Amino acid sequence: MKTFVETSSILLDGIDEMIQDGYFNDRTEAVNQAIKEMLDRYKLGKLRLKEKHYNENRNNEHK
């Protein structure tokens, strides 16, 4: 699937530098990795919040 994303030249320069340094093969790989990491952090944050609420409810039941 293709999509179009506008971004700043500063970010593109950074991605291009990482490609030149061998971290990624191309911009697509770099952007996909960045999106995956962002989604992983988001999902982890949701799990931590759910765990916090679970523990708070458990503690309140034992009072």
Tens of pLDDT along the chain (63 residues) come to 899 999 999 999 999 999 999 999 999 999 999 999 999 999 999 999 999 999 988 888 876
Domain containing 28 equals 9-61
CB neighbours of residue 24 within 10 Å: 18
pTM: 0.78
Report the C-alpha gap between 31 and 12 in whole angstroms: 10
The reply to whether 3 falls in a domain is no
The reply to whether 1 falls in a domain is no
Predicted pLDDT at 63: 66
CB neighbours of residue 15 within 10 Å: 19
The reply to whether 45 falls in a domain is yes
Alpha helices in the chain (DSSP H): 9-20, 27-61
